[in-house]
Chain A
Amino acid sequence: MSSLADALGPVARDTADGGVLLAPGDERALANALHVLADQGARLNRDATLSRERLTEVGPVEPRSMTLEVGAGVVLQRLDDRLRTFGLTVGPLSPSAMQLTLGDFLEGPFAGLRAIPGGRLEPLCTRLVAVLADGRRLETSEAPRSAAGPDLSALVLGGHGRLGVVTRARVRCFPLPEADVRATYSLPSPAAFVTAFTRAVAEGAWPWRVHVDPRSGRVVAEVRLAGSAGAVERDRDLFGRCVDEAGGRPSGDAEREGPVAVSHESTWPAVQASLEAGRALQLFRLSLGTVVARGDVDGLRLDEPTAWSSLGGRLLALDPRGVLGGAP
């Protein structure tokens, strides 16, 4: 056993490629491990890799708030499968997001964000529990919103685990859709598509996914709508009107597969530019500001951590020991 794994004790093990895997079972174990790493002059994310394989507990569902406590090691797709038995779902996340653990979804480039009706982004979780670089525990409030000081969950969300490591969180769910339909529209231009779809989203439509394909001068957009029968009906009507106003019309085109490509968080102008260049895209997490776009489009890569903005880097001073690995 390597000396680092040895020092870390039962929460760590050597890996085949000569590294050390740290798999704490709770916050205390993680905090202790961070102290050991610091004592050894070692760093997580460099000298040891975090595994949340032991952080997989799933608590009971609170049916009224549609929330439940979930270990950060639980893969979202599995969580979703389990939620179905309670008539709930984590909602319309992109396929790549669904393959992540809750921890990676919250800490990684997705920053734990989901879109809610009305086009706002909000974190998938209310309360989260994390261990910060100094080994202290951070536990945020489970109330839906707070004005009690800064939102400290921002130390975790999108922080690539470099400021704090999330161990569990209270996940907010949606009712399992009773209807799930697809509607296809043909629009005269990428600009018309963006106008119609941003308007519909701002007015409350809640598409789960959009496949958009610029072909022979027009743009064909197939939207998947899911929710209660009434909600789907209202959304379809709204899309119809917004498309109509933008000079489009319903189209009978059949469903198609989306491009299998890297996901980006992209702005609407970037989406439009990509469509204008004739590229088909698949869109998720449609919000007022940005979308998650699969295809050839400008934006922030969501499949791997990229260099932080300089301001984010300013926060690395919160880990003076550098125990969480410093800048990605």
Chain B
Amino acid sequence: MSTDARLSGLGSRWGAVPAGALPPPRAKVLAAKGALAEAVGGRVSFSDFDRLSYARDLWPLALLWIRQGKVPPPPDAIVWPGTEDEVARVVRVARDKRLALIPYGAGSGVCGGAWAIHGGVTLDLKRFDSIGPVDEARRCVDVGAGVMGETLERKLNFSGWTLGHFPSSIYCSSVGGWIAARSAGQLSSRYGKIEDMVLSLRAVLGTGEQLITPERPFSGPDLAPLLIGSEGTLCAFTGARLRVFPLPEGRVFHGFEFASVEEGLEAIRLVFREGLRPAVVRLYDPFDTAFVGKGGKARHAPVTPPSLRSAMERSFLPMMLRQVTKQTLGRPKVMNQLQRVFRKSRLILMFEGEAKRAEADDRAATMLCRKLGGDDLGEAPGRAWLARRYDVSYRMSRLIDAGTFADTMEIAAPWERVHEVYERVHAAASPYAFVLCHFSHAYADGCSLYFSFVGSGGDEQEIEQRYHQLWRAALAAAVSAGGNVSHHHGVGLLKAQALQDALGDGRHALAALKALFDPDGVMNPGKLGLSS
């Protein structure tokens, strides 16, 4: 069956439930209450309010439901283990009673990975919150899986180190979640994705076994890459030894404007071919360049009481937006065609590290960009980006409040295919949503594409329908043009079928791993397309 056909059931398969009338916890989970409580020293909850809090992650589909007073199906219970033994005990209870276990980091996943589609027990790992001292000689740190990203980064910075991992969700995601979903930060081109930072993992398998993966060098296959990205379907991560870097001594920013996206992409390709590793590389497509990507002034700190601007944004803007969206985002194709009048494409580069090296690398990149006709915009766009680099994540509230849907799709492709993937996804998504794209996370052999979609419709039903149509069309176009299914958001439920299709025969290998590490299928059933 094609991705397209399989995804068509997406909306209805996991029915939303009214926030005000949750189904009661399943009898078999209630029956395990005593055993669960014993496993985690009493830290278990069956309360409706807690079940509501854990019913969703940040898959935007849930936001459409929230707007209608509904939520995804909630877990029956939540447990908060604090030791590996406790996790192992919970796994044993789950195996014994055949309960689904859903590992939960901070719930910032955007693909439904933490949804409890079969009910069961959500396993919140945030009590694994230790941050060890930095081992300066070996440049690493031992961290609990439940540590929040920003907390870790601040702690490291305080002693002169950095992890170098800055996902836009750094304020709201956990180390375990990063590892589980193969996260990438904004500076990945220099520091790597999370899998590059992991030296060793601590995990409890679906068998209940506790393990620590060996650090290089060791003989035989490496278990870590088989667990990283498993999104809770094979194990629960409890901690990791992560590589750290000294805080950069210098930073150099440079912006360029190219006549077209193609030229901008070529510049990135040549920069990486030259062996340069900018910490930041972001190329905005023409519309993003024309409006969104323009480097304005960094916003000031929040003020108390709320400023006039904030008050405007609260009441006036949503009302305006609601009016405008009907006219514009309700007819995205027209909007998308209009954007074709824009051609220019803006690139932001940032080099950091040893100051002289960063400057030398910047000079080399500048020469390449100029040779390709890039207009030198100096350092302002880069600095402005840095100052506002997480701001975009706050926009979700406004967009949802304005009656739209909004989502992002991040995929990667080898250089031969990047532009075609861009064009094909753009065209496929155009009838359903307004489309923006930027290119970041570059490599010598390819690059990731990050699409933003905003759409609307006549009513909630139409909006949800369009949302699903959009994803079907965009994913199918991406894969058929030579892109992959995900570069860093993971798979969850949203891309489960697309992954299974993309794996081809390899899906049996994934299933075999599942059977090996989670023989009773209790770990996060249904995610990655793996059934219970």
Contacts and interface: CB of A to CB of B under 8 A. Distances in A.
Contacts of B220: 158-160, 307-309, 312-313, 328
A111 B217 CA distance: 10
Interface in A26-73: 62, 64-67
B214 A311 contact: yes
A119 B218 CA distance: 19
A153 B225 contact: yes
B114 interface: no
A149 B273 contact: no
A314 B219 contact: no
A67 to B, nearest CB: 6
A188 interface: no
Interface string A136-156: 111111111111111111110
A265 B222 CA distance: 15
B356 interface: yes
Nearest to A305: B219
B243 A145 contact: no
A144 B412 contact: yes
Q: Which of A126, A143, A159, A206 has the most CB of B within 10 A?
A: A143
22 contacts: A66-B273, A111-B222, A116-B444, A118-B190, A137-B504, A144-B447, A146-B484, A147-B229, A147-B486, A149-B503, A150-B234, A152-B226, A155-B221, A155-B509, A157-B222, A158-B220, A174-B275, A174-B444, A206-B275, A269-B138, A309-B220, A318-B516
B214 A175 contact: no
Contacts of A163: 221
A145 B516 contact: no
Interface stretch (B54-62, B337-345, B489-497): B489-497
A62 B416 CA distance: 7
B312 interface: no
Contacts of A149: 229-231, 491, 499, 503, 510, 528
Given A158-B222, A311-B223, A151 B229 contact: yes
B346 interface: no
B445 A66 contact: yes
Nearest to A64: B415
Contact of B357 (A66, A126, A234, A309): A234
B182 interface: yes
**Chain B: interface residue count, which band?**
35 or more
Interface stretch (A8-16, A216-224, A225-233, A251-259): A225-233
Q: Which of A141, A238, A306, A313 has the most CB of B within 10 A?
A: A141
A40 to B, nearest CB: 23
Contacts of A264: 217
B313 interface: no
Interface in A106-138: 109, 111, 116-118, 120-121, 126, 132, 134, 136-138
Which 5 A-B pairs give the minimum distances between C-beta atoms?
Answer: A308-B220, A312-B220, A147-B182, A144-B446, A265-B217
A300 interface: yes
Given A120-B192, A150-B513, A289-B243, A311 B181 contact: no
B215 interface: yes
Contacts of A227: 275
Nearest to A298: B217
B55 to A, nearest CB: 24
B444 A288 contact: no
B353 A204 contact: yes
A148 B484 contact: yes
A268 B357 CA distance: 23
B214 A309 contact: yes
Given A204-B277, A204-B353, 9 more contacts: A146-B484, A154-B221, A154-B225, A155-B509, A158-B222, A230-B274, A288-B243, A314-B223, A317-B516
B506 interface: yes
B530 to A, nearest CB: 9
A175 B487 CA distance: 25
A328 B503 CA distance: 28
Nearest to B215: A289
Contacts of A80: none
A267 B356 CA distance: 28
A43 B487 CA distance: 38
Given A117-B277, A203-B354, A309-B220, A150 B504 contact: no
A76 to B, nearest CB: 18
Contacts of B245: 202
A65 B414 contact: yes
Q: Which of B137, B273, B356, B444 has the most CB of A within 10 A?
A: B444
B502 A265 contact: no
Contacts of A117: 275-277
B122 interface: no
A150 B227 contact: yes
B219 A152 contact: no
Contacts of A288: 139, 243
B441 interface: yes
B299 interface: no
Nearest to A228: B274
B264 to A, nearest CB: 14
B502 A148 contact: yes
A168 to B, nearest CB: 15
Contacts of A140: 506
B443 A146 contact: no
B92 interface: no
Interface in B403-423: 411-416
Nearest to B199: A289
Contacts of A146: 182, 412, 484-487
A266 B217 contact: yes
A150 B510 contact: yes
B489 A147 contact: yes
Nearest to A327: B220
